[in-house]
Chain A
Amino acid sequence: MTRRELLALGAAVPILKAAPAPAAPVSIVRCRTYTNDELLASMKTLFDQLGGLPRLVRNKTVTVKLNLTGSPALKFQGRALGVTHYSHPNMVAAFAHLAHEAGARRVRFVESAWGTAGPLEEYMLDSGWNVRRLSAVAPNIEYENTNALGKGKRYSRLKTAGGGYIYPVIDFNHSYEDTDCFVSMAKLKNHATCGITLAMKNCFGNTPASIYGDDAGVDAPNESPTSGRVNTCHLGKRQPAKSSPGELDPTSSREPGYRMPRITVDVVSARPIDLSIIDGIETVTGGEGPWIKGLKHVTPHVLLAGTNMVCTDAVGTAVMGYDPRAARGVKPFIDCDNMLTLAEARGLGTADLARIEVAGLPIAEARYAFP
């Protein structure tokens, strides 16, 4: 059957409905501190409620996308980055330990470090992490800064779902393809442009600044990027490096509230998340980092995890006190389209709470009202 025939069939036979977006359970636990003992116990319960970590990671290369957004030089009220807007190093270590126990072949931590293509380990040191201690938690721990080509020989070109909202394909550092289990370790926090920063929005950072950055090369990737992606992604003022296919429609809206949710969905549809982990032990409200005015440090004391990224983020959104299917103009999607329903429309998962089983702490008990 040709594409034309398929489209014609779809138009002629409206009774053939698309399958409902998949649903999967989401686990929630209470966790009050980042102390190793409490974290290990809480995370073990978190994963056990999903059927256990071994089924997800045994004999696999596990790639964990951290959330180390913005320069590590920017701290909020002098607090450690991990208790505000960054992944917490103790949680990262706890995951490495549990993944090793569960039989993971290797654990590779990745992030597109802000403004640099230097080693991720040095970025972590700049974030106040003890990398030696983290590396000693388990054998075969690796690190890769995915802001450029890194340790790979070529970029991995992955197709977006349904042809993509903004980009038909995304070019990634090899780490996002050379993995058997992809984990997004996110924070429970708002985002100034997208309303929420959870597991899916965390993966916006998968895009290499060498191609999608403001100082990306015009023709070829810039392997020494030093800036963010505001002009290329948020505002669409320029196209990615020509080595990568550009936007589907360069005349589409340039409004960040239109673009960013769609780009996020494109990214996570090209490289779906196998395990979403959301840290809401300590975090911030009002934005994604200290450069956003009105930020506040808060302590919801919860951890969430799930194997479907849309379901997990939908539950995370509900825990924040919002309706995950809220329309544009309603909190938290005041100035943007709802990335959850955009993802749902692509068949990536349901944002319908009625279809999502919550294991462990009920949403009502976990709820912490974000502004």
Chain B
Amino acid sequence: MRWPGQTAQSLALLEGTPVNCLLLERERWQPELLDAAAKRGLATLAVVRPGFDGAVPGAFAGVVLEGDFAPAEVAKYRDSGRPVIELVSRYRLRFDGVSSVAGTWQGVWPGIQLEEEGSTKSAPSGAPWINTNTGFLRFAKAASKGVVWIGVRPPEKNTFRVERYLQAIGDAAMSGARWVVALDADFEKRLLGGDDRARKDWERMARHLRFYEEHREWRGLDPYGLLALVEDTPGALLSGGILDMIAVKHTPVRPMPTRRLQGGALRGAQMAVNVNPETLSAEQQEALRTFARSGGTLLTGPPGWKFPAVPDGQITLADEAVKTLDTIWKELNSMTGRRNLGVRLFNVASMLSNLTATADGKTLYLHLVNYSDYPVDSVTAHVLGRWTKAKLYTPEGPPKDLEIYPVDEGTGIDIPALTAVGVIRID
């Protein structure tokens, strides 16, 4: 968490929470704070930005390099012997396993996009658009096969209801990643000043953080579904790309980084979308041909099309790229139609979901995050195949058994109500 407090006493706010690692900006590098944190068993990480040429106090457990550092600079910090975590811009992410954490400071602030006047951005026809990092995070998770952090901060000069923080926690967690908790300035001030409302909101956030920490095994599960999306950098690093477009439809999809596309990588998939055909190696192309020969349906991007270069600092799609992707999107839509590719969800317009499975495929986990400020009643899931048990996990209470029933596609599950997040275990 990006800790806002400067005093040792402020750390009392962390009692009973699962927060165990604090990122401290330079103005908080006070010895007494570091000492108090150590006594509480909290790991402290010094946040260093490009251009800093001072020394990081020895009391820190590690260093976070936030921003884009020259390789020599990074090496210098690594050579110091302390753990180093890099929070780079998305386009500097390497997924090469050198870092224990694939981390970025860049992200969209999760939530339903509002129009200028503050109303929900929508047309008579459609669902509200949800700003999310999940498409990028799911790709990053699949590409890195390791720990993924996203250090997006709430936009400056804004205050947010606690629901937006719960959404930020869920947005990362349902993708198997972790959000580096950060509060808006007003929330920080009120929390540190002892404001009751702020403390209650913080407790609610802590409950959500604990919920995901108590089920940290969920982070290691693989995406599940009959549809695979073959793509790679730079397009997959954007938010609002094809993976997010699919996610809005709640179609289960397995991100398949091109770099991991080898024989057998698409096992279990029935459909695959190859977004960037021009960039594939001969071996990768052969893997796709094998998939198609074995009966898989393959949809490829427009001939000769390459994902346009993305201007530095941009993490959402440019209008031109949206238009091009729209071609693929329409074809994909007609290919998937109303088919059940793992699960079909109903009454989830304000939600995003992610379907994952254990390695043996005997247990599914359906993650749901509600991005509206209101609870959602009566969500229905039609899960492909016959399943015998379903249990709902939420931060608000003990797990609840859900009634299941047969439907044409397999198994129906009714979820009576969902406040912010929920995970359904399906056996």
Residues of chain B contacted by A255 (CB below 8 angstroms) = none
Residues of chain A contacted by B350 (CB below 8 angstroms) = 73, 75
B106-136 vs A, Cβ < 8 Å mask (1 yes, 0 no): 0000000000000100111111100000000
The residue in chain B whose Cβ has the minimal distance to the Cβ of A126 is B346
Residues of chain B contacted by A122 (CB below 8 angstroms) = 338, 346
Residues of chain A contacted by B405 (CB below 8 angstroms) = 132
A240 at the interface (CB under 8 A from B): no
A260-276 vs B, Cβ < 8 Å mask (1 yes, 0 no): 00000000000000000
In whole angstroms, how far apart are the Cα atoms of A132 and B412 in the complex?
Answer: 10
Residues of chain B contacted by A293 (CB below 8 angstroms) = 119
Q: Choose from B126, B338, B374, B379 the contact partner of A71 (Cβ within 8 Å).
A: B126
A115-159 vs B, Cβ < 8 Å mask (1 yes, 0 no): 100100010011111101000000000000000000000000000
B124 to A74, Cβ gap below 8 A? yes
B347 to A70, Cβ gap below 8 A? no
Residues of chain B contacted by A126 (CB below 8 angstroms) = 346-347, 349
B127 to A80, Cβ gap below 8 A? no
* Contact A72-B125, Cβ < 8 Å, known A78-B373, A125-B380, A129-B378: no
B125 to A128, Cβ gap below 8 A? no
CB contacts under 8 Å to A, within B374-415, are 374-380, 405, 412, 414
The number of residues on chain B lying at the interface, defined by a beta carbon within 8 Å of a beta carbon of chain A, is 25
Residues of chain B contacted by A115 (CB below 8 angstroms) = 125
B349 to A73, Cβ gap below 8 A? yes
CB contacts under 8 Å to B, within A61-107, are 70-75, 77-80
In whole angstroms, how far apart are the Cα atoms of A37 and B261 in the complex?
Answer: 59
The residue in chain A whose Cβ has the minimal distance to the Cβ of B333 is A226
B347 to A125, Cβ gap below 8 A? yes
A208 at the interface (CB under 8 A from B): no
Residues of chain B contacted by A47 (CB below 8 angstroms) = none
A118 to B126, Cβ gap below 8 A? no
B167 at the interface (CB under 8 A from A): no
Residues of chain B contacted by A316 (CB below 8 angstroms) = none
B124 to A72, Cβ gap below 8 A? no
CB contacts under 8 Å to A, within B332-380, are 338, 346-347, 349-350, 372-380
A59 at the interface (CB under 8 A from B): no
B125 to A71, Cβ gap below 8 A? yes
* Contact A73-B414, Cβ < 8 Å, known A118-B338, A122-B346: no
A217 at the interface (CB under 8 A from B): no
B347 to A74, Cβ gap below 8 A? no
Residues of chain A contacted by B414 (CB below 8 angstroms) = 130, 132
Residues of chain A contacted by B377 (CB below 8 angstroms) = 80, 128
Residues of chain B contacted by A130 (CB below 8 angstroms) = 378, 414
Sorting the interface of chain A by its residue count into under 10, 10 to 19, 20 to 34 or 35 or more gives 20 to 34
Q: Choose from B125, B346, B347 the contact partner of A227 (Cβ within 8 Å).
A: B125
Residues of chain A contacted by B378 (CB below 8 angstroms) = 128-130
A289 at the interface (CB under 8 A from B): yes
A172 at the interface (CB under 8 A from B): no
The residue in chain B whose Cβ has the minimal distance to the Cβ of A129 is B378
A125 to B346, Cβ gap below 8 A? yes
A332 at the interface (CB under 8 A from B): no
Distance between B11 CB and nearest chain A CB, rounded to angstroms: 36
Residues of chain B contacted by A72 (CB below 8 angstroms) = 347, 349
Residues of chain A contacted by B347 (CB below 8 angstroms) = 72, 125-128
* Contact A291-B123, Cβ < 8 Å, known A118-B338, A125-B380, A130-B414: yes
A165 at the interface (CB under 8 A from B): no
Residues of chain A contacted by B380 (CB below 8 angstroms) = 125
A74 to B122, Cβ gap below 8 A? yes
The residue in chain A whose Cβ has the minimal distance to the Cβ of B380 is A125
A71 to B373, Cβ gap below 8 A? no
Distance between A114 CB and nearest chain B CB, rounded to angstroms: 7
A290-329 vs B, Cβ < 8 Å mask (1 yes, 0 no): 1101000000000000000000000000000000000000
In whole angstroms, how far apart are the Cα atoms of A284 and B128 in the complex?
Answer: 20
Residues of chain A contacted by B379 (CB below 8 angstroms) = 128
Distance between A172 CB and nearest chain B CB, rounded to angstroms: 23
Distance between B319 CB and nearest chain A CB, rounded to angstroms: 22
In whole angstroms, how far apart are the Cα atoms of A291 and B380 in the complex?
Answer: 25
* Contact A228-B124, Cβ < 8 Å, known A72-B347, A125-B347, A126-B347: yes
In whole angstroms, how far apart are the Cα atoms of A114 and B379 in the complex?
Answer: 19
A228 to B372, Cβ gap below 8 A? no
The residue in chain A whose Cβ has the minimal distance to the Cβ of B334 is A224
A289 to B124, Cβ gap below 8 A? yes
B282-293 vs A, Cβ < 8 Å mask (1 yes, 0 no): 000000000000
Q: Choose from B125, B373, B374, B375 the contact partner of A114 (Cβ within 8 Å).
A: B125
Residues of chain A contacted by B338 (CB below 8 angstroms) = 118, 122
Residues of chain A contacted by B349 (CB below 8 angstroms) = 71-75, 126
The residue in chain A whose Cβ has the minimal distance to the Cβ of B374 is A78
B122 to A291, Cβ gap below 8 A? yes
The residue in chain A whose Cβ has the minimal distance to the Cβ of B128 is A73
The residue in chain A whose Cβ has the minimal distance to the Cβ of B370 is A78
Q: Choose from B124, B372, B375 the contact partner of A291 (Cβ within 8 Å).
A: B124
Q: Choose from B126, B373, B374, B412 the contact partner of A73 (Cβ within 8 Å).
A: B126
In whole angstroms, how far apart are the Cα atoms of A350 and B346 in the complex?
Answer: 43
In whole angstroms, how far apart are the Cα atoms of A226 and B381 in the complex?
Answer: 23
Residues of chain B contacted by A129 (CB below 8 angstroms) = 378
In whole angstroms, how far apart are the Cα atoms of A227 and B126 in the complex?
Answer: 10
The residue in chain A whose Cβ has the minimal distance to the Cβ of B414 is A130
In whole angstroms, how far apart are the Cα atoms of A71 and B127 in the complex?
Answer: 7
CB contacts under 8 Å to A, within B273-321, are none
In whole angstroms, how far apart are the Cα atoms of A29 and B377 in the complex?
Answer: 29
Query: A77, A78, A122, A293: which has the most chain B beta carbons within 10 Å?
Result: A78
In whole angstroms, how far apart are the Cα atoms of A73 and B130 in the complex?
Answer: 12
Residues of chain A contacted by B412 (CB below 8 angstroms) = 132
In whole angstroms, how far apart are the Cα atoms of A78 and B376 in the complex?
Answer: 8
In whole angstroms, how far apart are the Cα atoms of A127 and B380 in the complex?
Answer: 10
Residues of chain A contacted by B373 (CB below 8 angstroms) = 78
In whole angstroms, how far apart are the Cα atoms of A75 and B414 in the complex?
Answer: 20
Residues of chain A contacted by B372 (CB below 8 angstroms) = 75, 78
Distance between A235 CB and nearest chain B CB, rounded to angstroms: 14
Residues of chain A contacted by B127 (CB below 8 angstroms) = 71, 73-74
* Contact A228-B346, Cβ < 8 Å, known A118-B338, A132-B405: no
The residue in chain A whose Cβ has the minimal distance to the Cβ of B344 is A122
Residues of chain B contacted by A74 (CB below 8 angstroms) = 122, 124, 126-128, 349
8 A-B residue contacts at CB 8 Å?
Answer: A71-B349, A73-B127, A73-B350, A75-B349, A77-B374, A228-B125, A290-B122, A291-B122
Closest 8 CB pairs of A and B: A78-B374, A73-B349, A73-B127, A125-B346, A291-B124, A128-B378, A128-B347, A125-B380
Known A114-B125, A129-B378, A228-B125; further 9 A-B contacts with Cβ < 8 A: A73-B127, A73-B349, A74-B126, A78-B373, A78-B375, A80-B377, A122-B346, A130-B378, A227-B125
